[in-house]
Amino acid sequence: MRIAVYGASGFTGRLTVAELCRRRITPVLVGRNADRLGAAAAEVGVTGAETRVADLADPAGLADAIADCDAVVNCAGPFTLWGEPVVRAAITAGTHYVDTTGEQHYIQRVFDVFNKEAEHAGVTVVPAMADDGGPGDLIANLTAARVTPVDEVLIADLRQPGGGASRGTARSMAAVFDEGALEYLDGAWQPASGSQVEPIVPPGSTAPVPVTTFALPGVITIPRHVAARRIHSAIRTDVAALFASLTPDTVDSIPETVAEDARRASRWLMKADATGTDGSRAQGWVTGPDGYGLTAVIAVEGARRLAADGARAGVLSPAQAYDPADFLNFLAPHGVTWQVS
Residues that bind ligand NAP (CB under 6 A): 7, 9-13, 31-33, 36, 56, 75-79, 82, 100-102, 130-133, 166-169, 172, 256, 291-292, 295
Residues 210, 194: Cα–Cα separation, whole Å: 14
Bridge partners of 288? 268
At its nearest, how many Å lie between ligand NAP and the CB of residue 333?
Answer: 20
Provide the residue type at 40 as one letter.
Answer: A
- Please check whether residue 14 is in contact with residue 40, taking contact to mean a CB–CB distance below 8 angstroms: yes
81: helix, coil or strand? helix
**Nearest partner of 338 among 135, 130, 134, 132, judged by Cα:** 135
Min dist CB 45 to ligand NAP, Å, is: 18
The span from the first CA to the last CA of the chain, in angstroms, equals 38
Q: Which is nearer to ligand NAP, 12 or 124 (CB)?
A: 12
Q: How far is the CB of 146 from ligand NAP (least distance, A)?
A: 26
Contacts of residue 105, Cβ cutoff 8 Å, sequence gap at least 6: 80, 176, 179, 182, 215
Q: Which is nearer to ligand NAP, 108 or 275 (CB)?
A: 108
Residue 89: its H or E element: helix 84-93
Nearer residue to ligand NAP within complex by CB, 288 or 313: 288
Residue 95 or 101 having the CB closest to ligand NAP? 101
Q: Which is nearer to ligand NAP, 150 or 214 (CB)?
A: 214
Shortest CB 323 distance to ligand NAP, Å: 22
Q: Shortest approach of ligand NAP to residue 132 CB, angstroms?
A: 4
